Structure 1
Amino acid sequence: MARRRRLEAPSTADLTRIEEEFRSETSGRSAALRGVAPIAQVAAEAAARLQPEDTGARAERARIEADAARLHVAQEQGLLMVELPLDQIDEAAMIRDRMVMSEEAILELRQSIAAHGLRLPIEVFELEKPGRAGQCYGLLSGYRRLLAVRGLRELTQAEKYSNIRALIRPRASSGGAFVSMIEENEVREELSHFERGRIAVIAARQGAFANTEEAVERLFASGSKAKRSKIRSFALIFEELGDMLQCPEGLTERRGLQLAMALRRGAERPLRDALSRHAPDNADAEWSVIEPVIRSLDESPRDARRGGRPRTTAPLRYGWIDDKTLRTSSGITIRRATDSKGHILRLEGEALNSELMDSLMLHIQSLLER
């Protein structure tokens, strides 16, 4: 049978020693809890951390969380304005729609920014891969503002012109990017017909749209059908003669439509031949090369009547006779006039018939409907 071990109570000296060891191990505890049992101390600290917030603290925490959520949404939607270094922006990431920049307008903008600061931020988007010089952002809109700030930086070397205020827009499809760029320029400074047609062709070639027709419909959706029809005419000019024309931005609407009509009738080759033999230095000189080719196409040969002497009357002119009269190569004359009720178009010529008039009425309807 095993012997039981007799337990002895610790002496006073032993209790004193144990208490001193315990106190030395818990010397880092707060003075208020010194000497309290460990479990009680842990419970007290946990309770202190879990003290309920008062109403004001809860409201402040809710406000901070709501502000953080709004900031995140604004950043995701491209509504957050930031300061970006100029050398981080690639203005050539997209083909620009405007061909001609007025130096006078840029100088005026530069002076305005120097006097009052940049009132409106530019818009950029993050590039999928770094740009030509390691840039992180591509320019979406604000080309002139960017040029003006860069000019101020070069002129003054001031540190405040090293950065520019910008909105970082979400990365969108290339089609959406072209639409955004054109919408800004249409509102701020109207593009020429040739610039509109050119950017539609370029956007289609870069794969942003299926073809030029879709590009015109999407890029200029807010315009009337008549406006989009004109843009398609100038797009044709860019497609067939864009590499030959020296002053295309100087084409007036009337001249452009005449040129597009001639191109549709197969005038590309004779026009290219004529332009290759001359180097005009302004729009009027260039038109003086183009117009004779168009007139030569309009003048179709006529058979002499049998018998009698040939008529000696001068051949009819085709094209615009004056600012209100247009004669087609088929001999139809169109005159424009106005009266108290509105505008009048008068059509004259043997080629007119009911079928042609029905077709013409439908075409006018398609131009006038939105």
Structure 2
Amino acid sequence: MDITLIPLTDIDPEALPRDRQTMAEEALDILLQSILQDGLRQPIEVWPIEGSRPWALISGARRYRCFIRLAALNPDRWSQIPCLIRQPAEISGALALMVSENEIRTQITPWEKGALLGEVVEQGYFPSLEAASEALYPTLPRRERSRLRGYALVVEALDGFLTEPRSLSVARMDRLAVALRAGLADLMRASLAPLSGAAPARQWAALQPAITEAILEPDGPAPSVPTPGRPRRVLRLNSGITLRREWTPSGWNIRIDARHAAHPGIVDDILEYVERWFQKEG
């Protein structure tokens, strides 16, 4: 295995989409001290690209980050890093190498896995989520790759709405994916919209009705001719009023958000209309 010393400034750490979005400072400090004491035990992996930085980082993001910090203190010693040069036939091979190493070395959160799948498809590296999951996670069973595609749907639908999305467990990401596949994206976003920056526990509680609906709503007879826009789960009025339906084990609720409405009697009006429509005169 030939190792090449490459200047840090010649390596682009962001040339490829990465599944690890955050790095624990404590873990970086431990790795940095280990490098100071014993040197770099394993080189990073790069592959040649065109541009001002001729090398793209494949694996070893934490090692690269530590060398950057060390070079800031002692550039004469740490300005170059040992590299193993790879020659993937396609960029998909480089991405697969990166994912493979991170799966072994550190825990990547379900949110980060979903974000990576969505990003590589959006950037055109793969034609679909299915193709991306098969290429990046070839050893996983089909069912597990389907779960990862569900995580990508969660990221696409709820990115920017959740305070700490990377803290979501596998079980919670699975439940969110079920709700999204049931067509409840608008309802979920409407539930989270008033809670920007709120605590994760409060946001999760707001999502529970949509998750409950996806899991518990009984199957009704399918209409012979589907009606566009049905079922209606969220209704937004120009007056600022938002109504959304929620399924609970005991039946349907209609939640009314009229905090910004200029019509304070909305609840009384709705009850009056319902009475007119459904109350038979005796």
The bucket for the TM-score relative to the shorter chain is: 0.7 to 0.9
Is residue 189 of structure 1 aligned with residue 88 of structure 2?
no
Query: Residue by residue, what CA displacement relative to the aligned partner does 1:22-68 show, whole Å, maximum 9, x if unpaired?
Result: xxxxxxxxxxxxxxxxxxxxxxxxxxxxxxxxxxxxxxxxxxxxxxx
Supply the distance in 2 between the matched residues of 1:117 and 1:226 (Cα, whole angstroms): 41
Q: Work out whether 1:266 is the aligned partner of 2:183.
A: yes
Higher relative contact order (CA 8 A, sep 6+): 2
What secondary structure, in the 3-state scheme, does the structure 2 residue paired with 1:138 have?
strand
User: 1:195–1:91: structure 2 CA closer, same or farther, 3 Å change rule?
Assistant: same
1:151-230 pair list within 5 angstroms:
151-154=69-72, 156-170=73-87, 172-230=89-147
Cα deviation for residue 297 of structure 1 reads 5.7
Letter paired with 1:238: V
Find the counterpart in structure 2 of residue 147 from structure 1. 65
SS of residue in 1 equivalent to 2:195 = coil
SS at match of 2:16: coil
Match among 121, 124, 142 for residue 43 of structure 2:
121
1:100 aligns with 2:41: no
TM-score of the aligned structures, taking structure 1 as reference length: 0.56
Question: Partner of 2:4: helix, strand, or coil?
Answer: strand
Q: 2:155 — aligned with what? A: 238
Report the TM-score when normalising by structure 2.
Answer: 0.72
Return 142-151 or 170-179, whichever deviates more: 170-179
The one-character-per-residue Cα deviations of 1:140-168 (angstroms, maximum 9, x if unpaired) are: 111100001111122x2241111110112
- CA distance, structure 2, for counterparts of residue 256 and residue 97 of structure 1: 16
Cα distance, 1:317–1:223 mapped onto 2, change above 3 Å: farther
Query: Partner of 1:110 in structure 2?
Result: 32
Partner of 2:173: 256
Percent identity of equivalent pairs: 34
* Cα shift at 1:247: 1.7
1:112 is paired with a residue whose SS is helix
Q: Is the CA contact 1:200–1:235 (under 8 Å) kept in the aligned structure 2?
A: yes
Match of 1:276 among 193, 196, 214: 193
Q: For residues 169 and 179 of structure 1, do their structure 2 counterparts lie closer, same or farther at Cα, with a shift above 3 Å needed?
A: same
Write the deviation string for residues 175-201 of structure 1: whole angstroms up to 9, x where unpaired.
Answer: 111111100101111322222222112
Gaps (5+ residues) in structure 1?
Answer: 1-78, 302-314, 319-370
Which residue of the partner structure matches residue 45 of structure 1? none
Quote the residue 2:279 is aligned against: none
- Retained in 1: the 8 A contact 2:44–2:84? yes
- 2: CA distance, partners of 1:186 / 1:300: 36
SS of 1:245's partner is coil
**Matched AA of 1:256:** M
- Aligned-pair Cα RMSD in Å: 2.3
Q: Distance in 2 between matches of 1:278 and 1:199?
A: 26
Q: Which residue is equivalent to 2:9?
A: 87
How big is the shift at 1:122? 0.6
Contact kept, 8 Å, 2:178 with 2:211, in 1: the verdict is no
Q: CA deviation at 1:299?
A: 6.4
- 1:170 deviates by 1.6
Q: 1:138 to 1:281 in 2, by over 3 A?
A: farther
Alignment coverage as a number of residue pairs: 223
> Which residue in 1 is equivalent to 2:204?
287
- The one-letter amino acid paired with 2:68 is R
The code of the aligned residue for 1:293 comes to A
> What code does the residue aligned with 1:83 have?
L
